[in-house]
Amino acid sequence: MNSHTTITGSGSFIPATVKCNRDFITQEFYAEDNERLKTEPQIIVDKFLSITGIAERRYADKNMTASSMGIIAAKRAIADANTDPETIDYIIAAHNFGNVCATSTQSDAVPSIASHIKHGLGIKNPNCIPYDILFGCPGWLQGVIQADAFCKAGIAKKILVVGTETLSRVIDKFDRDSMIFSDGAGAVVLESKATNAGIIGASAQSFTLEELNYINMGPSYAPDAEHGTIYIKMQGRKVYEFALKQVPLAMKACVDASNISITDIKKIFIHQANEKMDEAIIKAFYKLYELPAPENIMPMNIHMLGNSSVATIPTLYDMVCKGELPEHALHAGDIILFASVGAGMNINAVCYRV
């Protein structure tokens, strides 16, 4: 039996602080031209819910950082895998902003988030190599792709991949898009094992010519905002159009390279970016095969957790594995598809047999 890179454990950390849509009703919003939006905040919030599906999101407590959340998710994944952390060969930590304290928008990524996680896990083994990956929202899934390459090359046998983010600390509260973003962390342990389960194919793409700044950093939209501070910004319409065109093609490339039939796919774990966009991507993906999208194919947690970037897929996967989304379940032999899109503009997908 051939060896495959297999997920042997998963874990997540969901912050306790809930930020509901009603909390934004008193917020003034401004446009890119620094002009105040004349639409009433209640109408803005209601329209936001109808488009994104987000009713609430989670923010990290003031004493938490991306690395501290990542440590908790990692410990839970290691416990779930029932493995000794000293036997981990690599720790790959996906994020976009490093550690950002609750009282500052300045990023701290020295030492790396992965190094913080290794320290927090108490790993003494000097041959356990921690490093970070910056790849936009698809960062965690790109870490999984790298882990698979390491295992196939014989460089490693056991790898911890973590996605963690505190986006609530880099958002412009005067920008209505700020309501999308949230905090969280997810992790998996991947091992090279002689089994039929595991990763069976992957694809990745990057578009940086016209698309580079669809998601970037920029000043606040408020006219009297503090100068010199920049926040995460997004050209929502362009992101939507780009994702709807390119993500289904990348998903198809992954499925075709995996030599499986689209009808074999039981679940699709897609980056929780926007409910309407994700639904449109799934429909467009199946349309490439001249098929309707099956019902109940796509688990979602965006309604209550928002968009936590690199953490969305691993937290969603962990919730399904732990039975926290009872309408979705995974069984041995099921083929699932992971897919993500984000800043870069980067896209990736992975086919996996449970």
**What was the pLDDT predicted at 1?**
67
CA–CA gap between residue 178 and residue 182 (Å, rounded):
9
- Cα angle 273, 253, 274 (rounded to 5 degrees) comes to 10
Q: Residue 253: what are its φ and ψ, rounded to 5°?
A: -60, -40
**What was the pLDDT predicted at 226?**
77
CB 312 within 8 A of CB 268: no
- Comparing CA positions, the residue from 349, 348, 332 lying closest to residue 6 is 332
Radius of gyration of the chain (CA): 20
pLDDT tens for 27-86 read 999 999 999 998 988 999 999 999 999 999 999 999 999 999 999 999 999 999 999 999
Question: What number of CA atoms fall less than 13 Å from residue 179's CA on the CB side?
Answer: 30
**Residue 323: is it exposed, middle or buried by C-beta count within 10 angstroms (0-12/13-18/19+)?**
exposed
| Fold matches, 3-196 and 200-353 | yes
DSSP labels, 209-267: SSSGGGEEEEE-SSTTPPTT-EEEEE-HHHHHHHHHHHHHHHHHHHHHHTT--GGGEEE
**Residue 71: is it exposed, middle or buried by C-beta count within 10 angstroms (0-12/13-18/19+)?**
buried
DSSP labels, 272-299: -S-HHHHHHHHHHHHHTTT-PPPTT---
- Comparing CA positions, the residue from 311, 305, 272, 306 lying closest to residue 113 is 311
CA–CA gap between residue 173 and residue 175 (Å, rounded):
5
DSSP state of 320: H
> Which amino acid, 172?
D
**What was the pLDDT predicted at 52?**
94
3-class secondary structure, 114: helix
CATH of 3-196, one of 3.40.47.10, 1.20.1300.10, 1.10.3720.10, 2.40.30.10: 3.40.47.10
Domain boundaries of the chain, sorted by first residue? 3-196, 200-353
The model carries a pTM of: 0.95
Percent of the chain beyond pLDDT 90?
Answer: 92
* Class of CATH domain 200-353: alpha beta
CB 325 within 8 A of CB 301: yes
Residue 329's region, left for phi above 0, alpha for psi from -120 to 50, else beta, is beta
CA–CA gap between residue 293 and residue 282 (Å, rounded):
7
Tokens of 111: 């030492």
Identify the band that residue 2 occupies on the pLDDT scale cut at 50, 70 and 90. Answer: confident
**What was the pLDDT predicted at 189?**
98
Query: Average pLDDT, whole number, for the chain?
Result: 95
pLDDT tens for 198-254 read 999 999 999 999 999 999 999 999 988 877 889 999 998 999 999 999 999 999 999
**What was the pLDDT predicted at 255?**
97
End-to-end CA gap in the chain:
16
- Comparing CA positions, the residue from 109, 89, 107 lying closest to residue 150 is 89
